[in-house]
Amino acid sequence: MWILDNKIYVVGIGPGAYEQMTMRAAEALRRCDVIVGYTVYVELVKEHFANKRFMTTPMKKEIERCRLAFEEANKGYTVAMICSGDAGVYGMSGLMLEIGQEYPHVEVEVIPGVTAANGGAAVLGAPLIHDFAVISLSDLLTPWEKIEKRLLCASEADFVICLYNPSSKKRHDYLQKACDLMMRSKDPDTVCGTVSNIGREGETFRVMTLKELRDTRVDMFTTVYIGNSQTKMLNGKMVTPRGYIHG
């Protein structure tokens, strides 16, 4: 019988700023010996945990990154695998638990964080007060046909929709395509918003209509919000009413 004496924390570090990391996440990073992560995310935490040993892999090397974390834990080190936002929302917790089946003597604990949907919503105002759907426009791991169906169904059901990974050099027109799909069910004047560099230097936001969003340039560091039929703009903020009756 294996004794679980080796530990990996899968840590959501939030939007990026140390001040927006949860206390539990910061404590997990203080406890560990080694911090493993995507190069960009490691750079976000290095200055606050300078006494740790850092190990990185580039994008598209996620499986190698997970195995690296488990191999370090095998050596007796306490390891933190870090993810931006929340480790369970487009993060590494699922893959870590899958690969963890090969390392039954290593304990894996998932530490939640503030995902971009929440962090950006707070900047915009209150767009996610009612039912909402989060959809990634990245077709790296999901076929575009499936993404398209999700966009159409969520729009028809009048969800507020939060879009991750809305654009990249190879997918420069994906947000435009998504807006065209959503306008089959949503009014072109639906209130929308974008937030870039959430919780980091250079944070900016805009509130606009869906037809204006269609021609707006965004990047991988932008999170996009498309309101439902009730969403409105109040004093420059994006607000989706829950339905409370007040005077």
User: What kind and span of H or E run contains 223?
Assistant: strand 222-226
- Whole-number pLDDT of residue 2: 39
The answer to whether residue 203 scores a pLDDT higher than 90 is yes
Task: Tell me the C-alpha distance between 200 and 223, whole Å.
Answer: 13
**Reported confidence tier of residue 148, pLDDT bands at 50, 70, 90:** very high
pLDDT tens-digit readout, 72-117? 999 999 999 999 999 999 999 999 999 999 999 999 999 999 999 9
245 pLDDT above the threshold of 60? yes
Tell me what percent of the residues of the chain surpass a pLDDT of 90.
86
* Span(s) in the chain for CATH 3.30.950.10: 117-239
Q: Nearest-CA neighbor of 223 among 134, 154, 158?
A: 134
The secondary structure of residue 47, as a DSSP letter, is G
Residue 247: its pLDDT value, please? 64
pLDDT at 161 over 90: yes
pLDDT for residue 200: 87
Give mean pLDDT, residues 202-209. Answer: 96
Q: Which amino acid is at 231?
A: T
| Residue reference for tokens 């990974």 | 165
The pLDDT of residue 202: 92
User: How sure is the predictor about 4, in pLDDT bands with cuts at 50, 70 and 90?
Assistant: very low
pLDDT at 1 over 60: no
Give the CATH number of domain 6-114: 3.40.1010.10
* Angle, vertex CA 179, rays to CA 205 and CA 122, nearest 5: 30
| pLDDT tens-digit readout, 27-82 | 999 999 999 999 999 998 999 999 999 999 998 899 999 999 999 999 999 999 99
Taking all residues of the chain, what is their mean pLDDT, rounded to a whole number? 94
Topology of domain 117-239 in CATH is 3.30.950
Span(s) in the chain for CATH 3.40.1010.10? 6-114
Picking from 161, 157, 160, 169, the residue whose alpha carbon sits closest to that of residue 135 is 161
Tell me the per-residue pLDDT of 232-241, one tens digit each, with 9 for 90 and over. 999 999 999 9
Q: Residue 75 has what pLDDT?
A: 94
To the nearest 5 percent, what fractions of the chain are helix, strand and coil? 35, 25, 40
Pairing relationship of beta strands 6-12 and 125-126 according to DSSP bridges: unpaired
- The pTM of this model reads 0.92
